[in-house]
Amino acid sequence: MEPRDRLVGTGDPMTDVVMRAEDVRKRFGRLEVLKGVSLDVTQRETICIIGPSGSGKTTFIRCINHLEKIDGGRITVNGHLIGYRQKGERLVEDSEKSIARQRTQIGMVFQRFNLFPHKTALENVVEAPVHVLGRDKDEATAEGVALLTRVGLRDKCDTYPGKLSGGQQQRVAIARSLAMKPALILFDEPTSALDPEVTGEVLAVMEELAHEGMTMIVVTHEMGFAREAADRVVMMDEGVIIEEGTPEHFFEAPEHERTKQFLSKIL
């Protein structure tokens, strides 16, 4: 695979849409988790998805990089259909190879970090640029050190994840996904597994990213972060988006009854 220069993603030149979800449906057995979710995310935008557990928000962002197959609708990133190929009227699942290639453009930060425990912080960051994109190792390493410095972990380059705190691990995970220079980063409840004292250091890194113009979709319960960094907040409940708007709209004058209920419980 050719290393490509796509720092902030090229996007659709006409509309600047990086990610477009249209009527996405997903079921686990009998349970319909997503009942038609549509969402556009434009370049440099930070979207926070909030909602009660079981509302389908995590499932939704896992569909965006095809960690979950979808049963209906379509998702495109930078204009490319994710996970499927159009075959006449129908969509058929894409080859593993092209799904893998699409994922190089979509970063993901997990709730449980999922760092590779047998590799040092720096090796975690350098792994995919070298072995997936075929980048030069020295070059990738220099960039890796720069990324770890950016998330405040310059002195932890040679430390194994097992020796890092949760907050440090999550910052390494953010650096790891930045190393791929993705068009979009998905955050799946990035601070839910952290102690309250270290939540701040991770959120600070994410806020900085948001202000630097990274396109981000963040599933979170951190309303402070949503208020501070989000361009748009999306409320999901029972597999559909029930309300979306600016943080001001959300925290001052939510319209939907369900949103009011939810916010009053967690604020």
Partner 1 sequence: MVWVRIAHPDHAFFRALYTTVYMAVIAQFMGVVLGLIAALMRSSRLAPLRWLSGLYIWIFRGTPLLVQIFFIYYGTNELFGVNIIPNTLHLGLFSLDGAVLAGILALGINEGAYMREIIRAGIDSIDKGQMEAAKSLGMRYGLAMRRIVLPQAARVIVPPLGNEFNNMLKTTSLVFTIGVYEMFADAEIGYSNSFLPAEYFLGVAFWYLVLTTVWAFIQAAIERKLAASERGEELSFIERMQAAWNPATAWWARGTR
Residues in contact with partner 1 by the rule CB under 8 A? 1, 65, 67, 96-97, 100-101, 103-104, 106-108, 110, 112, 114-118, 127-128, 131-133, 159-160, 162-163, 176-177, 180
**How far apart, in whole angstroms, are the C-alpha atoms of residue 267 and residue 259?**
12
> In this complex, which beta carbon is closest to partner 1, that of residue 216 or of residue 223?
216
**What single-letter amino acid sits at 239?**
G
For the CB of residue 153, give the shortest distance to partner 1 in the complex, in Å.
Answer: 16
Going by the DSSP 8-state scheme, the letter that residue 49 receives in this structure is E
For the CB of residue 103, give the shortest distance to partner 1 in the complex, in Å.
Answer: 5
> In this complex, which beta carbon is closest to partner 1, that of residue 132 or of residue 263?
132
> In this complex, which beta carbon is closest to partner 1, that of residue 80 or of residue 131?
131
Token representation of residue 267: 């604020």
Helix (H) or strand (E) holding 98: helix 96-103
> In this complex, which beta carbon is closest to partner 1, that of residue 172 or of residue 235?
172
Residue 257 β-bridge partners: none
Q: Name the 3-class secondary structure at 217.
A: strand
For the CB of residue 85, give the shortest distance to partner 1 in the complex, in Å.
Answer: 17
For the CB of residue 105, give the shortest distance to partner 1 in the complex, in Å.
Answer: 8
**Residue where the block lists tokens 């990274």:** 214
Torsion angle in degrees (nearest 10) through CA of 46, 51, 56, 61: 10
Helix (H) or strand (E) holding 28: strand 17-28
CB burial string 44-70: b at 16+ within 10 A, e below:
bbbbbbbbbeebbbbbbbbbbbbbbeb
For the CB of residue 127, give the shortest distance to partner 1 in the complex, in Å.
Answer: 7
> In this complex, which beta carbon is closest to partner 1, that of residue 133 or of residue 145?
133
For the CB of residue 88, give the shortest distance to partner 1 in the complex, in Å.
Answer: 24
> In this complex, which beta carbon is closest to partner 1, that of residue 117 or of residue 224?
117
Helix (H) or strand (E) holding 146: helix 137-150
CA angle centred on 69, ends 240 and 178, rounded to 5°: 90
